[in-house]
Amino acid sequence: MEPRPYHHGDLRAALIHEGLRLLEEKRGEEPSLREVARRAGVSATAVYRHFPDKQALMAALAQQGLQQLATVQNAASDSVGGGDEGFAATGRAYVRFALAHPALFRLIFTSPVLAAVREDGVLDSDAGALLYANAAAFAARAGGEAHARAIRAWSLVHGLAMLMLDGQIPADEALIDQLIRVQKQA
Amino acid sequence: MEPRPYHHGDLRAALIHEGLRLLEEKRGEEPSLREVARRAGVSATAVYRHFPDKQALMAALAQQGLQQLATVQNAASDSVGGGDEGFAATGRAYVRFALAHPALFRLIFTSPVLAAVREDGVLDSDAGALLYANAAAFAARAGGEAHARAIRAWSLVHGLAMLMLDGQIPADEALIDQLIRVQKQA
């Protein structure tokens, strides 16, 4: 096999890209470093330079997934002008992201990456925490009990995503719109 | 190994009991029919009479888990006299069941048993549907949008359970009480 020429940073990005594709193709079964190398057209040795073991690769995939989720949430909020409508839009985007990328979504929430990011305080790059932070801001504006409302909002969208992914509730676009709307608080 | 004497129905119950214990001990890794046989002190052949393959055993474990969940939910509702308070109590019981039996909880919601039970219309023996039916009754009393409220209630407790199981939110008893209460509907 003729190795393709990559700049250092480009190869890392290419490996993550191929890793994400393999993860979805294999329906969540973790790709090996060897498979990722083959897909990227490089040697296993080249991969080890960026990811010493599979755990390192999976952590990078989860981190990349978080960034993608944050991006679609931000775009969804911006598209309706932010505010309370924007917050509801981030919730719908969260569920739709899960349905579009089931293996990546499960990886994000079973990997230690999310917790590690949160402990670092890097909330902006953390989509779970992004939703959570948005929820807290929303709840604070609505008055009282901010923490509980933030976790309730996150739990609602996470539970809906999981029940749809596991086939317990139909993965119905209109249902997502109906369920996640701006709620008047009692 | 001297086989223990079992009546037919007793052996099936014993195999399910040992299967559930193994499932939690192995943190969700599915036990083999051979392991279950060893634990129950019978031959593999005796097991095959009840469960022709591992899928049959896992389906029986999921079904048994659903019945256990229904039992704790009913007891929780009864303990506060039913009604709206009882419905909130079934939600808290749902999350606590997940935390106490993580592998069984995941098995229930990733197995086809729940969907099969629902299609049969046997809602009473189906704890997921039990919660759902309770939610629908609650929403119907509260007026309007019953279906959406039922799914929202289920999603909230399911999401909270999953986020706690996956370590994203602390598995905190007081937090469960705080989050799942009778909510005034807007």
For the segment(s) B59-179, the CATH number from 1.20.1560.10, 3.40.640.10, 3.40.50.1000, 1.10.357.10 is 1.10.357.10
> Looking at the complex, does the CB of residue A156 fall below 8 Å from at least one CB of chain B?
yes
Is pLDDT of A73 > 70? yes
Q: Which of A148, A157, A183 sits opposite B159 (nearest CB)?
A: A157
Q: Give start and end residues of each alpha helix (H) in B26-172.
A: 33-40, 44-50, 54-79, 83-100, 102-110, 113-120, 127-142, 146-165
> Looking at the complex, does the CB of residue B142 fall below 8 Å from at least one CB of chain A?
no
In angstroms, the separation between the Cα of residue B52 and the nearest Cα of chain A is 25
CA A95/CA A92 separation, integer angstroms: 5
- Burial class for B81, CB neighbours closer than 10 Å (0-12, 13-18, 19+): exposed
B interface mutation test: which of A110, A114, A147, A156 has the most B CBs within 10 A?
A156
pLDDT of residue A121: 46
Q: Are A57 and A21 in contact (CB under 8 A)?
A: no
In angstroms, the separation between the Cα of residue A6 and the nearest Cα of chain B is 37
CB proximity list for B136: less than 8 A, separation 6 or greater: B146, B147, B149, B150
**Half-sphere exposure (CA, 13 Å, Cβ side) for A97?**
29
Contacts of B110 in chain A (CB under 8 A): 166
pLDDT of residue B34: 95
> Looking at the complex, does the CB of residue A144 fall below 8 Å from at least one CB of chain B?
no
CA A76/CA B26 separation, integer angstroms: 41
Residue ranges of chain A that CATH labels 1.10.10: 8-52
DSSP annotation string for B79-118: HTTSHHHHHHHHHHHHHHHHHHSHHHHHHHHHSTHHHHHH
Contacts of A105 in chain B (CB under 8 A): none
Q: Which residue of A has its CA nearest to B179?
A: A148
- Single-letter amino acid code for the residue at A96: R
pLDDT of residue B183: 66
Reduced to 3 DSSP states, what percent helix, strand and coil does chain A have, rounded to the nearest 5?
Answer: 75, 0, 25
pLDDT of residue A148: 79
Task: Tell me the percentage of chain B whose pLDDT exceeds 70.
Answer: 76
Helix B102-110 × helix B83-100 angle, to 10°: 110
pLDDT of residue B67: 85
**Half-sphere exposure (CA, 13 Å, Cβ side) for B152?**
20
Contacts of B186 in chain A (CB under 8 A): 183-186
Tens digits of residue pLDDT in A86-106: 888 989 999 999 999 999 999
> Looking at the complex, does the CB of residue B23 fall below 8 Å from at least one CB of chain A?
no
> Looking at the complex, does the CB of residue A142 fall below 8 Å from at least one CB of chain B?
no
Contacts of B178 in chain A (CB under 8 A): 148
The better pLDDT of the pair B44, B87 is held by B44
Q: Are A116 and A130 in contact (CB under 8 A)?
A: no
**Measured at the alpha carbon of residue B163, what is the angle toward residues A28 and A60, in degrees to the nearest 5?**
45
CB contact under 8 A, B162 and A167: no
pLDDT of residue B186: 41
Contacts of B184 in chain A (CB under 8 A): 186
Tens digits of residue pLDDT in B96-140: 999 999 999 999 888 776 665 555 544 444 445 555 555 555 555
Spell A164-179 as b/e; 16+ CB within 10 A means b.
bbbebbebeeebbeeb
CB contact under 8 A, B148 and A178: yes
> Looking at the complex, does the CB of residue A114 fall below 8 Å from at least one CB of chain B?
yes
Confidence of residue A56 (pLDDT cuts 50, 70, 90): very high
Is pLDDT of B66 > 90? no
pLDDT of residue A186: 41
**Across A155-169, average pLDDT:** 89
In angstroms, the separation between the Cα of residue B153 and the nearest Cα of chain A is 8
Contacts of B168 in chain A (CB under 8 A): 109, 114-115, 128
CB contact under 8 A, A160 and B162: no
Question: How many CB atoms lie under 10 A from the CB of residue A72?
Answer: 17
DSSP annotation string for A17-76: HHHHHHHHHTTTPPPPHHHHHHHHTS-HHHHHHH-SSHHHHHHHHHHHHHHHHHHHHHHH
Q: Which CATH architecture does the domain made up of A62-179 adopt? A: Orthogonal Bundle (1.10)
CB proximity list for A97: less than 8 A, separation 6 or greater: A68, A69, A72, A73, A105
Nearest 10 degrees: CA dihedral of B75, B77, B81, B87? 180
B interface mutation test: which of A94, A151, A181 has the most B CBs within 10 A?
A151
Question: How many CB atoms lie under 10 A from the CB of residue A58?
Answer: 20
> Looking at the complex, does the CB of residue B133 fall below 8 Å from at least one CB of chain A?
no
Contacts of A154 in chain B (CB under 8 A): 159, 163, 169
* CATH number for the domain formed by residue range(s) B8-52: 1.10.10
CA A115/CA B122 separation, integer angstroms: 40
